[in-house]
Structure 1
């Protein structure tokens, strides 16, 4: 599991006095940065190796200003050229949101998906979601 902590900023709140639902997608993307570094250690945007294929977010509880959040990022599936992450946001010891993202290893010069290297698959495997591990 990868873990990132964020302070909720005032501008991330909305008229209902809780965090806007659009903010969560950004927190999840920031939480995936350690995974991005497995593919591109320097985060070289001129030679980027991944594309986002899909994402889904579920909101469990309201998220509030003034209390930090933790984004937990796991790998839930590894395929030939794609993989999925499962992420959770926690605030005050409660899971407030969760989501799934599918990312594809992509070669922009050929405009095609390409296989994920064995070494990177091995590194991704180290961060499998615990329920996935028991299903093996």
Structure 2
């Protein structure tokens, strides 16, 4: 089921995303990680229609391993690390100059806003999520 293929997106570090020392600010990673999850969002809602949005964020955690700097692109790799009945966990890594600088985990829940309850992830979507499963 798994082929460990991540979704990848590369960002050019903007000057406004840095501090006086040229380091990327800690809140920027949360934004980059969210943008890196867009392909996963499209598995549920291909057109990203917010009126038909089926996901909520239950938690996220970011670990910083190395400093990130202005002037060098950053690549965010996005994997799925766990698939449950109604939730799944996303593992993300931020790489700069071939060094893993940060990791993040996010738990997303498939959610029915009409009933205000979690809902089972459709089997077809589970299969697509599985294509990006990174096993420990």
Higher relative contact order by CA 8 Å / sep ≥ 6: 1 or 2?
Answer: 2
Residue 35 of structure 1, aligned match among 36, 40, 46: 40
Q: Tell me, in whole angstroms, the C-alpha distance in 2 between the residues paired with 1:17 and 1:5.
A: 19
List alignment gaps of at least 5 residues for structure 2. Answer: 1-5
Query: Is the counterpart of residue 103 in structure 1 residue 108 in structure 2?
Result: yes
Matches within 5 A, 1:90-129: 90-129=95-134
- Which residue of structure 2 aligns with residue 58 of structure 1? 63
Q: Tell me, in whole angstroms, the C-alpha distance in 1 between the residues paired with 2:23 and 2:10.
A: 18
List alignment gaps of at least 5 residues for structure 1. Answer: none
Residue 23 of structure 1, aligned match among 21, 24, 28: 28
- Which residue of structure 2 aligns with residue 71 of structure 1? 76
Residue 74 (structure 1) shift: 0.3
Residue 14 (structure 1) shift: 1.3
Instruction: Provide the alpha-carbon RMSD of the alignment.
Output: 0.7
User: 3-state DSSP class of the match of 1:116?
Assistant: coil
Residue 16 (structure 1) shift: 3.2
Q: Count residues in correspondence.
A: 131
Residue 82 (structure 1) shift: 0.1
Moved over 3 A (4+): none
Q: Normalising by the residue count of structure 2, what TM-score does the alignment of the two structures yield?
A: 0.94
